[in-house]
Structure 1
Amino acid sequence: MEKTETNNSGAQDLLIFLWAKRKVIIGISAVAFVIGIVVSLMMTVLYQSTAIVFPAATSTVSFSEQRNAKANAMDFGEEEQAEQLIQILQSSKIRNKIVERFNLMEVYEIDQDDPNRYFKLGKAYEQHIAFERTRYGSILIDVLDEQPERAANIANKIVDLIDTVKNDLIKERTIPAYEVNKRKLDKLNESQRELIAEMDSLAAMGVVGPEARANLFSALNESRPEDREFFRKQIEVNVKYGSRYDALADLREFRIEKLTDQEVSYEQAESDAYENFTHKFVVESAVPADKKAKPKRSIIVLLITFSAFVLTIFYLLVAEKIKELKKVA
C-alpha cells in the first residue's frame, strides 16, 4: 500500500515538474520542429525505380539427352541460381560499366583528384543501388537517384548487363574447352582419313573383307584354267594383308563411334563458347517514378522533434537532481 502511494506521489511530482518546465520543453521542441523542417527540406530528393528478374535454371542448349536432365532453358532458377546472380550483380564488372555509362563519379559529386575517390564511389554506389532476393526466388534491383528517368535507366541497364557479363565469364572457360574439343575432333578426323586411305590402298591391291575372302577359295576351284592365276594372286594378297585389313576395318568402326561422340561434344562446346544466352527472365522492367522515395520529411521532422522533447526532459530531470544533491551536500 505504501509502495503504491509512493509511486503515485512520484508520478505526481514528475507531472508537476514537467508542468513547471512546460515553456522550456515546448520552446525547445518547437525549435527542433523548425530545425527538422529545414533539415528535411535541405536533403536531396531521391526517386526509386525497381526492376524484377528471375534467374534461369540453365542457359545452354544441350546436345545430349542426359545433360541438364533436371533443368532446361525454360525453367526458373532456384536459390542457388539466385545467389549466383546476386554475386554477378554485385561484381565490379557490372559496377564499373554502370559508373562509366552514367558518369556516376560526377553524379555523386566525387572529386576525380580525391585519393579516396574509389572508396567513396563504392559507398555511394551501395547507398543508391541495391539487390535483394525475395522469398519467391526473384531478385529486386532497386536504384535511387535524383532524376527518376536516370534511376529507371540505370536499373534497366543493369538488367541488360546480366547477360553480357555472365556470357563473358562463361566464355573465359568455354572457349578454351571448345579449342580442346576442336583439336581432338580434327585429330580424330585426320586419323580416320589416314585409316581409310590405307584401307583404300589395300583394296586396290585386291584385299577384301572376311566374307569375300572366304569365297576366294571356292572361286579358285570353280574358275577356268586361264583365271586361276588371278585368283591365286588374290588369295596370296589376302593371306598377306587380310589380317591388317580386318584390323583396320574394326578400328574404323570404333573410330566412327568415337567420332560421333566427339562431334556431339564439339557441338556442345561450340554452342557454349560462341552463343550468347539469356540468363534471366525479366518480370518487370524499371519505369521512372512519379513520387519521391526519400527523404520521408514527416518522419524526419517527427524524429527530430521527439528526440529533442525526450532529451530536454532528461536534461531537466538530471539538472534538477544535481541541484537537489548540491543542497543536501
Structure 2
Amino acid sequence: MSAPSFSLVGLGPIINRWKYFVAGAVALAALVSIVVALLLPNFYRSTAIFIPTNPQTADPDRLLEDNVEVRSKLELGGRAEDLDRAITIGESQPVAEQIIRKFDLYKHYKAGTPGDDASDNYVLSEFNSNLSIVHNERDAIELAFMDKDKNLAAAVANAMVHVIDSVNQQLTLENRRTVLDLYRQRYEYLSTSFERSRRELVGARRRYGIYGLEMQGRYLAKQLVETEAALRKAEASGGDVAGLKRVLRGLTRADGGNLLNLENYVQGTDSVTMFTTRVTDLQTRLIAARSAYETAELSIKGRISSVYLVQKAYPATKKAKPVRSLIVLGSVLLTFVLSVVFIALLELYRYNRPRVAQLA
C-alpha cells in the first residue's frame, strides 16, 4: 500500500480537534509576551548630523595663493575620503574608551570596575551596539546613540561629534605647526635681509651724497651748464676764470670739496638704484611673509572646526524600541505555527504507528 500524501487542507480538521490546545498555547504565549514586553525598558535614540570638511584647506600651507593673498576657507565638499575618515574615527576604540570614561558608562551599564577584561569587553560591546554612524544619501554623516536615558543618549551623541572633530584636527596639527615654523623662519630671514639692505642703502647715500636721484641729477646738470657758460664768458671777457674753474672742479671731481659732484653721482647712481630696488622688493616680501605668518598662527590657535554641524542631537520625545505590539504579535504567530507543526507531527505519528505494527 502507498503512503498517504500530505495536504494542507487536512490541517483544518486536525486543528479543529486540537483547537483547545492551540488556543491555550496561543493565549499563554500572548500573556507571557505581554508581560515580557511590559517589563522591557524603553530605549531612546538621539541623532546628530554633520558634514566633515577637508582639513587640508585649513592648513597654513594652503592659506597662501600666489604668496600675496591670504585665505582660510573651508570646503564642504563631502568628499568620500573625508566621510570615511570621520566614520573610521568615530568607530575607533580610543574614541569609545574616551566617551566611556567621560560618562562613566561602567557604572551606567553596571559592568563592574574598569581594568577587568570581562568588564571592559562588556562595556565596549554594549557601547558599540548602541552606536550607529552611517553615511546617508545626502553626503552627510548621521551619528546616533541609543540608551534608556534619553538625556544621556543626546549628550553622548554630541560628545562623539566633538571628539571626532578634535581627532580630525589632530591629524594635521603637527604638519600645521611645522609649516608655521617655516613661515616664522621665512619672516625672520626677510626681516634680517631687509634691515641689512636698508643699512647698506643709507651707507651708499651717505658715501656718494645721493638722496634723491632725479632731483639731484637735474640740479647737478643745471649747475654744470650754468658754470661752464659763465666760465666761457669769463675767458672771453677776462673775468674771474680761476674762481669759476674751482667751482667747476667742485661740481665734477670728488676731491673738489662739494658733497654733490658729478664723479660721486655717476659712481653712486648704480649702487643706490640697486639697493633701492632690493629694499623695495624685500619690503614687499616682508609684508606678505608677516601677514602669512600671522594668519597661519591664528589658524592654529583658533582651532578651526573640521566638521559642519547640521543638526545637534536632542533628547528623543518617543522611544525607539521595544515595539511591544510587534513582540506580542510575533510571539502569538510563532506559537501558533509551532503548535500546528507539533499537533500535525503528533497526528502523523499516531496514524503511522498501527501501520508499522501490522507490517511488523
CA distance in structure 2 between the partners assigned to 1:92 and 1:259 by the alignment: 47
Alignment counterpart, residue 144 of structure 1, candidates 143, 146, 153: 146
TM-score by length of 2: 0.71
Residues 165, 296 of structure 1: alpha-carbon distance in 2 compared, 3 angstrom cutoff: same
The whole-number CA distance in structure 2 between the counterparts of 1:268 and 1:322 is 87
Match of 1:184 in 2: 186
Q: What is the match of residue 133 of structure 1? A: 135
> Structure 1 CA distance, aligned partners of 2:176 and 2:133?
28
Deviation at 1:79?
5.0
Q: Residues 246 and 295 (structure 1 numbering): CA distance in 2 closer, same or farther, change over 3 Å?
A: same
Identity of aligned residues (%): 21
- For the residues of structure 2 that align with 1:41 and 1:221, how far apart are their CA atoms? 114
Task: Give the C-alpha shift of residue 196 in structure 1.
Answer: 1.2
1:11-50 aligned within 5 A:
11-50=8-47
Specify every segment of 5 or more residues in structure 1 that has no aligned partner in the other structure, as ranges. Answer: 1-5
Correspondence for 1:310 among 313, 337, 341: 337
> Which of 227, 249, 259 in structure 2 is aligned with 1:228?
249
Which residue number corresponds to residue 95 of structure 1? Answer: 96
Structure 2 vs 1, CA of residues 211 and 42 (structure 1 numbering), >3 Å: closer, same or farther? same
Answer yes or no: is the 8 Å Cα contact 1:219–1:231 preserved in 2: no
Maintained 8 Å contact 1:50/1:287: yes
Cα deviation for residue 190 of structure 1 reads 0.9
Letter in 1 for 2:330: L
Tell me, in whole angstroms, the C-alpha distance in 1 between the residues paired with 2:184 and 2:70.
Answer: 22
The residue type equivalent to 2:279 in the other structure is R
- Measured on the aligned residues, the alpha-carbon RMSD in Å equals 4.0
> Which of residues 314, 330, 338 in structure 2 aligns to 1:287?
314
Task: State the secondary structure of the residue aligned to 1:142.
Answer: strand
Which secondary structure does the structure 2 equivalent of 1:286 belong to?
Answer: coil
2:297 is aligned, of 265, 270, 285, to 270
For 1:277 and 1:239, the matched residues in 2 are separated by: 56
User: Which protein shows a greater Rg?
Assistant: 2
Structure 2 unaligned regions, length at least 5: 228-243, 255-260
**Bigger CA drift: 199-208 or 50-59?**
50-59
Alignment of 1:99-110 (within 5 A): 99-110=100-111
- Is 1:78–2:78 an aligned residue pair? yes
In the alignment, the residues of structure 1 paired with residue 303 and residue 42 of structure 2 have an alpha-carbon distance, to the nearest angstrom, of 39
In 2, the alpha carbon distance for the partners of 1:190 and 1:83 equals 46
Deviation at 1:103, TM superposition (A): 0.8
